C-alpha cells in the first residue's frame, strides 16, 4: 500500500552505482562456472563475417573482457552508462579486408530502459514484468589502441633465405597478400 515515503508505489528500492558494480564483479567472477547463477564472461570467441563479410572483414576474434562498470546518470530514471575493458586478437580469413590484429581498450555505451510493448509477439502476458535494455547506438565508443601484427620475424626470414624461388613459393602457399602481409 502506498504511503507518504513511497508515493504511489508500494515499495521503493534505492541502489548505489558502487553496489551495482560489486554485483557485476560477482557475475564476472562466476564466469559460468555455476550455470544456475547469472554470469558475465571472462573470455569469448566471435566469428566475424561468417555468412557475409562486414565491411569486407572476415575472421575470428578471441577476446578477454574485464569487469563491467555501470555509471548511473544523475536525475535520470530510464538510462545508464556501461563500460567494459577488452583485449582482443583478430585472426583474419585469407580474403579479409585489413583490420587490426590487436585491440586493447575500453568500450563505452549508454543503455535505455524501455517497457516492452504487450502487443509484441510472445509478450502479451509477461510484458509488464520485464524491461527492454537497449543500447543507444550513437553513444557507443571505443577508447584504446588498435595495432596491426608487426610480424617482426619476417625481416629475419628475408635475410636468412638465400633461395629466392623457394621463398616466393612459400609466400604464395600462405595465401594472397593482404595490405602488404603474406
pLDDT in tens, 9-22: 777 777 788 888 88
Select, from the ranges 8-22, 36-50, 133-147, the one with the highest average predicted confidence (pLDDT). 133-147
Whether this model's pTM surpasses 0.75: no
Cβ count near 46 (within 10 Å):
12
Burial class (CB in 10 A: 0-12, 13-18, 19+), 92: buried
Contact between residue 171 and residue 182 where contact means Cβ atoms under 8 Å apart: yes
Separation of alpha carbons 40 and 28, rounded Å:
5
Query: Quick one: pLDDT at residue 175?
Result: 46
Is the pLDDT score of 47 beyond 80?
Answer: yes
Amino acid at each position: 500500500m502506498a504511503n507518504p515515503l513511497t508515493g504511489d508505489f508500494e515499495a521503493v528500492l534505492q541502489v548505489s552505482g558502487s553496489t551495482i558494480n560489486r554485483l557485476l564483479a560477482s557475475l564476472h567472477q562466476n564466469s559460468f562456472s555455476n550455470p544456475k547463477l547469472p554470469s558475465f564472461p571472462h573470455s569469448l570467441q566471435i566469428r566475424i563475417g561468417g555468412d557475409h563479410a562486414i565491411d569486407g572483414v572476415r575472421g575470428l576474434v578471441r577476446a578477454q573482457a574485464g569487469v563491467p562498470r555501470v555509471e548511473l546518470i544523475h536525475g535520470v530514471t530510464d538510462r545508464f552508462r556501461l563500460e567494459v575493458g577488452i583485449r582482443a586478437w583478430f585472426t583474419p580469413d585469407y580474403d579479409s579486408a585489413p583490420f587490426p590484429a590487436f585491440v586493447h581498450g575500453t568500450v563505452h555505451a549508454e543503455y535505455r530502459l524501455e517497457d516492452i510493448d504487450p502487443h509484441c509477439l510472445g509478450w502479451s502476458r509477461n510484458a509488464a514484468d520485464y524491461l527492454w535494455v537497449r543500447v543507444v547506438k550513437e553513444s557507443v565508443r571505443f577508447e584504446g589502441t588498435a595495432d596491426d601484427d608487426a610480424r617482426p620475424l619476417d625481416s629475419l626470414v628475408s635475410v636468412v633465405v638465400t633461395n629466392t624461388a623457394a621463398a616466393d613459393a612459400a609466400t604464395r602457399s600462405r595465401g594472397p597478400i593482404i595490405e602488404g602481409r603474406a
